Amino acid sequence: MDVTIERVNDFDGYNWLPLLAKSSQEGFQLVERMLRNRREESFQEDGEAMFVALSTTNQVLACGGYMKQSGQARTGRIRHVYVLPEARSHGIGTALLEKIMSEAFLTYDRLVLYSEQADPFYQGLGFQLVSGEKITHTLDKTAFADSNR
């Protein structure tokens, strides 16, 4: 499946409805929360970005981003990662996360995230399972660099 991954500069420039509908059907509120909070969490500040994976017809197939982890200057947090069910298992989520991680590690030494359902996916990308308050996975910059040699 051919996709383009691009940075979101204007949330209103995309049709989020399919992602919103499917994520809600699956019981995930992250896309709805992202869209509701997009004025406060614009992902336009230094050290943060939101990306979408687009089909050749510009349909949003996936989204995800990163921002500073509250209270930890050198730690970034992966946020709002969602891939449409019909787009899963085609490498789209992996390509999206690789883009997010590559860019986030230009600013941060460590990335964290919270996910109850996608443990095998994140571990496959090098994240380690941890237990913490609203943190389930972590990845250090050195481990990421070593895995990309």
**Are 66 and 104 spatial neighbours (Cβ–Cβ below 8 Å)?**
yes
* Annotated binding residues: 83, 89, 91, 93-94
| Residue boundaries of the structural domains of the chain | 4-147
**Are 69 and 19 spatial neighbours (Cβ–Cβ below 8 Å)?**
no
Residue 28, phi-psi category: left (phi > 0), alpha (psi -120 to 50), beta (remainder): beta
Taking alpha carbons only, the member of 43, 33, 87 closest to residue 68 is: 43
* Annotated binding residues for CoA: 83, 89, 91, 93-94
The pTM of the full predicted model, rounded to 2 decimals, is 0.91
Domain spanning 4-147: which CATH class is it, in words?
alpha beta
Question: What pLDDT was estimated at residue 149?
Answer: 54
Q: What are phi and psi of 3, to 5 degrees?
A: -135, 160
Tokens standing for residue 10? 């204007």
Question: What pLDDT was estimated at residue 75?
Answer: 96
Tokens standing for residue 60? 């949003």
> What is the mean pLDDT of each successive set of 10 residues along the chain, which is 149 residues long?
91 93 93 87 88 96 94 93 94 96 96 87 91 88 76
What distances in angstroms separate CA 21 from CA 7, 15, 75, one per listed residue? 22, 11, 31
